[in-house]
Amino acid sequence: MRQFSYPNSQFTNILGGASIGWKLNVYDTGTTDYASIYSDLGQTTPTANPVIADADGFLASFYWTGTVDVVLTDENDNIIDSANGIQDLVSTINAVVVAGNITLPFGTAAGDGDTITTILPIASDFSDGGVFVVRANTANSGASNTPNLQVNSYASRRIKKIGGVALIASDIVSGMNMILVYNEAQDCYYLINHEATFLKRDGTAKMLGAIDMDSHKITNLTAGTANGDAVNYLQLGGDSSREFAVAAGTTGNSAVNLTQLTWCVSSGMVLPFAGSAAPTGWLECNGGAVSRTTYAALFAVIGTLWGIGDGSTTFNLPETRGEFIRGYDHSRGVDSGRAIGVWQDESFKSHYHVYYTRSMTGYAGDSGAGGGMTTAATYDETKITASTGGSETRPRNVAMMYIIKT
């Protein structure tokens, strides 16, 4: 934002009288579209555009953001003067400070970070919109109702963010040039360049607030390697390259860090996989021996439950090829005596079948013309079935590869 006039500008005619009704037209740069301007520093109250000189020839102060063109006309719209590409206050001040050519009142802070004093080369107290620079000598603590700044012998006033928001700890850091603007309505100084507004490229300052990406994305992230690091798309099955450390996300649209993802990609997790080769970060559960060093995270979880490997440098993975997985009994009593990793052969539950026998009595031989049974015979009839089925007992199934997270 920029304040147009400080103190308010007065226009006079060639006779020294007030130029009543003169107009300052403020346009978006390179257009004839009126720019949005405001009567307050926080830019919450729009004001009329063009700005018209009052009965004394004064133009009221107004503020804007970005770059504008201005055209001054008389009351009959005859052009008096114009200027193009006028930057807002923050851009102008930043450019001046970076260039080391400070043309604003400048002083060095004394006191601690919460009670600050400074001496400025000014003859009177600031009016609304007055801008100055103070070089901080220490960080603020974030304590309630602080920090406060006294300029020369004038009133001590709170330093706040634009809009009257309180500063938090280390919004002011030692050695920074504080760009301050006096706000008459709140009788305070607005700190334009508080530390929480900057994400320094060299990493020397931490972010103290949230970054609103507004539906945009962060690209080129290196894979996170420690708790607190962001994870890139490659670690979730995609592709990327640069590291970006983030705090743990707490809302639906927040970034998440590596620590927060351990619940869904923890080492030792086993999943069925529809492909024929394990993806990056996973191994096939084939019972093979792998390095205890290379796969230290996995070894820390499963140890030698599935085999000791060579006894010193390797350990074995679970062997699930051709096997069905059964839930660990864990003292329930359904599958007692089992430990994790112990193989179990197929088995039928104990049972029996009922079969029947039949006895028959008959007579054999004929001793005379009338016939007669002379001998009794008894036999059993037992039904016997032929063998059927395959080499194992199994339910209907489909084959997939089991993989384990390293």
Give the best-scoring range by mean pLDDT among 1-10, 156-165, 359-368, 369-378: 156-165
Q: Please name the residue that has the structure tokens 């004038």.
A: 154
pTM summary value: 0.40
Tell which phi-psi region holds residue 307, choosing left (phi > 0), alpha (psi between -120 and 50) or beta: left
State pLDDT tens for residues 298-357. Answer: 999 999 999 999 999 999 999 999 999 998 899 999 988 888 888 888 888 887 766 655
Instruction: Produce one character per residue of 103-131: b if its CB has 16 or more CB atoms within 10 Å, e if not.
Output: ebbebebeeebbebbbebeeeeebebbbb
CA 236 from centre of chain: 15
Considering the domain architecture, whether residues 72 and 18 belong to the same structural domain is answered as: yes
Instruction: Report if residue 353 sits inside a domain.
Output: no
- Give the tokens for residue 300: 């820390």
Q: Which residue among 36, 65, 87 closes a domain?
A: 87
User: Could you report the per-residue pLDDT of 378-398, keeping only the tens digit for each?
Assistant: 445 555 566 778 888 888 999
Considering the domain architecture, whether residues 296 and 178 belong to the same structural domain is answered as: no
Q: 168 lies in a domain?
A: yes
pLDDT-based confidence at 241, cuts 50/70/90? low
Residue pointed to by tokens 């993975």: 317
Q: How far is CA 147 from the centre of its chain?
A: 31
Number of domains in the chain: 4
Domain match, 111 and 80 both: no
- pLDDT tens for residues 102-146? 457 888 899 988 999 999 888 888 888 888 889 888 989 989 999
Note the residue count of the chain.
Answer: 406
Distance of CA 214 to the CA centre of its chain: 12
Looking at the structure, tell me whether residues 97 and 191 fall in a common domain: yes
Query: In 296-395, which residue ranges form alpha helices assigned H by DSSP?
Result: 296-302
Mean pLDDT of 182-201: 76
Range of the domain at 114: 93-197
Residue 113 lies in a domain: yes
Whether residue 79 sits in one domain with residue 97: no
Chain segment 249-295, per-residue pLDDT in tens: 777 667 777 666 666 678 999 999 999 999 988 999 999 999 999 99
Residues 77 and 189 in one domain: no
Instruction: Clarify whether residues 189 and 316 are in a common domain.
Output: no
Task: Indicate the residue among 57, 87, 117 that finishes a domain.
Answer: 87
Are 117 and 63 contained in the same domain? no
CA angle, residues 299, 301, 305, in degrees to nearest 5: 75
pLDDT value at residue 311: 95
Give pLDDT tens digits for 38-78: 877 667 889 999 988 887 777 777 778 778 888 888 888 98
CATH (domain of 273): 3.90.1340.10
Decide if 210 is inside a domain: no
Cα separation, 127 vs 122, whole angstroms: 12
